[in-house]
C-alpha cells in the first residue's frame, strides 16, 4: 500500500502537477494565424453564433466538450471530502473521456451551500458545453440534481454513478442470466445498496423487462418493505410486500445478488441459500461484499462479477460513459434517455459474445479469452467499443 501511495502521488505530481491540460487545436505561429484566432477574425464566428446559436457547434469546441461536475460529497468511496479534494478524480474522468472517446473535458468542482445553488451554477455555465457529466454527488440529492438539470438544459445531462454504473451492471446481467440458462424477466434480484447506483440500476432493469415485484432492495436498515415509514421517494418506489427483513432472509432463493454497498456484508451461507445457478455481482470497491474465493467455495455453479480489475468480470464504468457521451454528442441529443441506456447495455452484452481480437489479448497479456463465466463484459481496451457503443446510442437517440 505504501508503494502504491508513493507511485500514485508521484504520478500526479510529476513532471507537472495534475493529469490534464488544454492544448490549442489550430495553429497560432504567425501574425496571420493570430488575426484569425483572435481579433479581428474572431468577430466573424461571434456574429454567426449571435445570429444562430446552433452555429456554436460549427465554430467552437462546444460539441465535443463535456463538463465533469461535482460537489465532492461522495468521492469514489471516500465520502464527503469536499469539492477541492474531488479534483484528482474529476481530472481522471477527463483522462478517460479523452483516451477512450476523444472527448474534451473541463472539470468543474463547485462549492455550493444548497442543491439550488449547485443547480443554478451548472445552469449558468452550461452554454460552454455540449454535455454535463455529474460525478461523485451523494444520494438522494444526486437524483434531484440530475432531474432538474435535465429539465432545465437543452444538452445531455448524465450522472455516471447512477446511469453509467446501471448500464454496465445491466450489460453484465444480460450475459450472466444467459449463461446460467435463466430469463431476465423471471429472475428474482436482491440489491444491497439503495443509493445512486443501486436505484438507477434497478430502474434500468425494470425498463429492460424485470418485474418490479421481483426486486428486493436492501439498505443499511434492512429490507425496503411496504411497512417502512423512513423511505425517501426513490426508495419508496421499490417498497414491496414481503416478510423478509434482513439481507440474509432476502437472499434465500434469490437468483441474482447485486451489491453496491460495502465490504464483507455477504456471507458464504447467504450465497449457499440462493437459487440454483446463482449470479453474484459484489461491486463494492476496493473490497467487495464477498470475495470471489469465498463465493466460489460456497457455490460451484456461480457466475460472479466484482468492481476490481484483478478478478474476472470487472464492472467498470469506463465501458459506458465515454461511449454513451460520444453517441449522444454525435447525435446532437438534447437528453440521455432510458432507451439510449438500454441500447448501450445491449450493445455491450452483444460485443462480449463475439470473438476477442488479438489486440485485446495482447493488451491484457492473455493467450485466450472467450464468452463464458469468466468473461461476460468486454475489456476496456477493446478497440471495437468506440465503433459499436456510440453508434447504438446515437441510433436510439
Residues involved in catalysis: 38, 93
Compute the distance between CA of residue 86 and CA of residue 80 in angstroms, rounded to an integer. Answer: 9
Q: Cell numbers at residue 210, please? A: 424485470
Compute the distance between CA of residue 386 and CA of residue 397 in angstroms, rounded to an integer. Answer: 17
- H or E element at residue 305: strand 303-306
**SS3 annotation, 154-200:** CCCEEEHHHHHHHHHHHHHHHHHHHHCCCCCCCCCEEEECCCHHHHH
Compute the distance between CA of residue 34 and CA of residue 26 in angstroms, rounded to an integer. Answer: 10
Question: Exposed, middle or buried by CB within 10 Å (0-12, 13-18, 19+), for 384?
Answer: middle
Compute the distance between CA of residue 392 and CA of residue 127 in angstroms, rounded to an integer. Answer: 27
Nearest 5°: phi and psi at 258?
Answer: -120, 120
Amino acid at each position: 500500500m505504501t508503494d502504491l501511495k508513493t507511485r500514485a502521488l508521484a504520478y500526479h505530481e510529476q513532471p507537472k502537477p495534475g493529469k490534464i491540460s488544454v492544448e490549442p487545436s489550430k495553429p497560432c505561429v504567425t501574425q496571420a494565424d493570430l488575426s484569425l484566432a483572435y481579433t479581428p477574425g474572431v468577430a466573424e464566428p461571434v456574429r454567426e453564433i449571435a445570429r444562430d446559436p446552433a452555429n456554436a457547434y460549427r465554430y467552437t469546441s462546444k460539441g465535443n466538450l463535456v463538463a465533469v461536475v461535482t460537489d465532492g460529497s461522495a468521492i469514489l468511496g471516500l465520502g464527503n471530502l469536499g469539492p477541492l479534494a474531488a479534483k484528482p478524480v474529476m481530472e481522471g474522468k477527463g483522462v478517460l473521456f479523452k483516451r477512450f472517446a476523444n472527448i474534451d473535458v473541463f472539470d468543474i468542482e463547485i462549492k455550493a451551500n444548497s442543491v439550488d445553488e449547485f443547480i443554478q451554477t451548472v445552469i449558468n455555465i452550461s452554454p460552454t458545453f455540449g454535455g454535463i457529466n455529474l460525478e461523485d454527488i451523494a444520494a438522494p440529492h444526486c437524483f434531484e440534481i440530475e432531474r432538474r438539470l435535465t429539465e432545465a438544459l437543452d444538452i445531455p445531462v448524465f450522472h455516471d454513478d447512477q446511469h453509467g454504473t446501471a448500464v454496465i451492471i445491466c450489460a453484465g446481467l444480460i450475459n450472466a442470466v444467459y449463461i446460467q440458462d435463466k430469463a431476465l424477466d423471471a429472475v428474482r434480484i436482491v440489491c444491497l445498496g439503495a443509493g445512486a447506483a443501486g436505484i438507477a440500476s434497478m430502474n434500468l432493469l425494470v425498463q429492460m423487462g424485470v418485474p418490479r415485484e421481483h426486486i428486493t432492495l436492501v439498505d443499511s436498515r434492512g429490507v425496503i418493505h411496504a411497512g417502512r415509514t423512513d423511505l425517501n421517494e426513490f426508495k419508496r418506489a421499490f417498497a414491496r410486500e414481503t416478510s423478509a427483513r434482513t439481507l440474509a432472509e432476502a437472499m434465500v432463493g434469490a437468483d441474482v445478488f447485486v451489491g453496491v454497498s460495502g465490504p464483507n456484508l455477504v456471507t458464504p451461507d447467504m450465497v449457499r441459500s440462493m437459487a440454483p445457478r446463482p449470479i453474484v455481482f459484489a461491486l463494492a470497491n476496493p473490497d467487495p461484499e464477498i470475495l470471489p474465493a469465498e463465493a466460489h467455495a460456497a457455490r460451484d455453479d456461480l457466475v460472479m462479477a466484482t468492481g476490481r480489475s484483478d478478478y474476472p468480470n470487472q464492472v467498470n464504468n469506463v465501458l459506458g460513459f465515454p461511449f454513451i457521451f460520444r453517441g449522444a454528442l454525435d447525435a446532437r441529443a438534447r437528453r440521455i434517455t432510458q432507451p439510449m441506456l438500454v441500447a448501450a447495455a445491449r450493445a455491450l452484452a452483444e460485443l462480449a459474445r463475439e470473438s476477442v481480437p488479438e489486440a485485446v489479448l495482447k493488451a491484457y497479456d492473455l493467450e485466450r479469452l472467450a464468452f463464458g463465466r469468466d468473461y461476460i463484459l468486454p475489456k476496456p481496451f477493446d478497440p471495437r467499443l468506440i465503433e459499436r457503443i456510440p453508434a447504438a446510442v446515437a441510433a436510439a437517440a
